[in-house]
Structure 1
């Protein structure tokens, strides 16, 4: 069962991670060296097989990236001493954006802060070994720099999407098959690893719309033309056959019957009584 230790950016991770699988200890404002002095962490560390550390953001600007990297290494070794069988995961430091509340942070300050964060991430990559693994967050960078959608309005803490993205990366790092493999002692620079992972993400996102766009035209073309072509000609042909048949047969039959009935009774009745009268007069 993994344990997550972090500063304020880890505060709401417990809302997205399963509580039956993860335990989250968040300490807002903590610097790297302060986690080792927390008594609650000392007591629970021996019971966890995986420990995820999210630190470094509160150290930037107070120490150099090299000193921050050494402080992170010292904390990881302290965790390893308390839980010798545990695998330690160190999250990369996330970038920052402008503060939309008051705009107190200048663009120059944010650029310098992100440069130091990138240097700290390279220090984390250099610590990789069989029991220490980095947790990368490639979606927090796009082609234009930090991904603003994954950060809140203050530019430092996580948005809803950013919290979900961090939890997904932590889950993949812990339960990935590569987590148990030994990593090389001299890894490639972090910027190259981020670019490679981000290109894989782009390939996955571009392949998804293809499958969805192929389905609608298939269903629309087969259903629409078939009923329209069969129903219309059949109904018109049936109406043309029914109308001429009754009208042509009934009218001539009635006219022929009237002509035969009228001349027959009139001719027989007038000629018959005339000769009978003449004969009676002659006999008298």
Structure 2
């Protein structure tokens, strides 16, 4: 039996359709600029209706000292009144792909279902901008969000970090920076199947080789581009952090057919051992980002219900 045989049957159809169109998946496109264009094109072709319950605003804000400005997209409930909880949103893409637009639908949904102000950050990507540029951009955007909380209608005492895949790794890296730099304070973090270990030595990192979504070869390539030939520190690869004490309470979920399964489970255990309140969900049959590829599957609905419930509880 192969890992593909373990995928939830209802979630497998959209993945098979993608691989029929693009055999081998996105990582078979060697040129990173072309790969980004293909990913953006596929995402752009997905019709997402406007949500009248959410108002969006794009802004440009200061980046890290001496570095370029950063784009953010701000989402507010249309009927917002008073200070609302906040979600600082970091998109995925293996540190080499992705942008605000590609995760607009998810950020909109979180804003609507949680009743929170969502600030989604556009960070620089590798290989053009290796570590620490992405995580420093994320930290700068977080600092700006807290500094401008009153203007945003956001309660800085109820602020969560959210990110999937690379965004999950950057959320943890940003939380580590905030802890080590003395702020800003973070109420909660939700790293979703986070990309956090550059060593690629876990059993699941060897198992997931031909599922078609973030397989071993693509992960090795992305880490090489992200690190740019340098050694990883804890802000690049949070599994390398020796001390996890003092991080915010966490919610982590990952699928059983996800390359990141074992590193994420081990990290959640280490958070608990460090005294960090941590909720861990391991979703049988789920591959990397399956809830986005197969949003109508019952498994996907359960995954999203778990996340939304956890955000509501943490930010109440």
Q: TM-score, normalised by structure 1?
A: 0.38
Pick 1 or 2: higher relative contact order, CA cutoff 8 A, min separation 6. Answer: 2
